[in-house]
Structure 1
């Protein structure tokens, strides 16, 4: 073999190794993200609230505060981002989230004098909840939205 063939083979081997390392990195990130998403389903309600508060902080929210457990008027987290104040209701369930969560954060938003109300969940929402949220101007942050928030912090 001449020297140019040896150099070419060396370059191709290095490139192949780089592709393998990059692929392993991507698979590792995807596995880690999926595992975090699964852990979310195993959390108790209060743990999920702190998980959501931490996720909001990592996504640029400021003055993030978890409210006291009982008598919170349907609001689990108070936060602010870009001059907008939020009241967030967290629901860690194993079934779709219904209208009640939307109603609770609607009332809690006004009680805490916040600009925006949102329901944040590890699940998805019923069609009735989506319709109510549209009428009451409540944001719905479902599992897909939370997953995208986790991706942004990676």
Structure 2
């Protein structure tokens, strides 16, 4: 039994020596490979690290810039809303020219481009010209009337003529009062945006000009609303 145990111990030692030799050979081979080929490999390894770091840094900068720009746009928009906000009583006290300038400011706040006031004695039915944020051209007629007045259909028809004359895509009628029934129907039938007093209040308080299209022809109040309106202004 002692002889058998010696043989097992000897065999185990032999296997360990063989494993050590193999491991040493592998380690030596890797060392030789690294030494021989390091001058060839290191530029690629460093290049990969630099490119990877630059990509991560660029992505982080892009996300940060996007976040900062988005916050800045929101802040500027909120500031523009606050700066341009007026009470309807203040709007009623404006002159016709001041009202036109006020509408120009609201358009620019909402991202309209090339907006300019053209009202005058020979304005051909247009007070404001420009382009909507989506690129469509527009003409705006502004009427600062007393709240108890009504916009007649003939004035809306004049705006349709201005649309044809200036060859624009959208015609918008903005008033400090309300439209007569025929005037409002004519505007809707001819794809014109009729912004009456209630919608002007929404626009003034931050709603975008384009969003008013969803409520075009609506919002002039029910019977009780009209009764309170008459009590206030008549």
Normalising by the smaller structure, the TM-score range is 0.7 to 0.9
Q: CA deviation at 1:147?
A: 1.3
In 1, the alpha carbon distance for the partners of 2:105 and 2:87 equals 13
Moved over 6 A (4+): none
Q: Does 1:104 align with 2:158?
A: yes
Query: How far off is 1:69 after superposition?
Result: 0.7
Query: Take 2:144 and 2:205, find their aligned partners in 1: how far apart are those partners?
Result: 19
- Is 1:126 the counterpart of 2:177? The answer is no
Q: Indicate the SS of the match to 1:74.
A: coil
d(CA) in 1 for partners of 2:125 and 2:110?
Answer: 23
For structure 1, which runs of at least 5 residues remain unmatched after alignment?
Answer: 1-31
Distance 2:121 2:139 in 1: 15
Is 1:37 the counterpart of 2:91? The answer is: no
Runs of at least 5 residues in structure 2 that lack an aligned partner in the other structure: 1-82, 208-234
Does 2:148 match 1:92? no
Task: Tell me which protein shows more strand as a share of its residues.
Answer: 1
Cα–Cα, structure 1 residues 38 and 106, in superposed 2: closer, same or farther, change >3 Å?
A: same
> CA-to-partner distance for each residue in 1:28-76, whole Å, 9 max, x for gaps?
xxxx999522111111111111111111111221111100411111110
Question: How much does 1:114 deviate?
Answer: 0.4
Task: Pick closer, same or farther for the CA change 1:58–1:135 going to 2, 3 Å.
Answer: same
TM-score if structure 2 supplies the norm length?
A: 0.49
Aligned length: 122
Report the 3-state secondary structure (helix = DSSP H, G, I; strand = E; otherwise coil) of the residue aligned with 2:179.
Answer: coil
CA RMSD after TM alignment: 2.0
How many angstroms apart in 2 are the aligned matches of 1:68 and 1:37?
22
Q: Per residue, is there more helix in 1 or in 2?
A: 2
Aligned to 1:144: 198
Give 1:116's aligned residue. Answer: 170
Q: Does 1:77 align with 2:131?
A: no
Q: 1:111 deviation in Å?
A: 0.8
Which of structures 1 and 2 has the bigger CA Rg? 2
Partners of 1:107 and 1:55 in 2: CA distance: 24
Which protein, 1 or 2, shows the higher relative CO under an 8 Å CA cutoff with sep ≥ 6?
1
Give the whole-Å Cα distance in 2 for the aligned partners of 1:123 and 1:67: 22
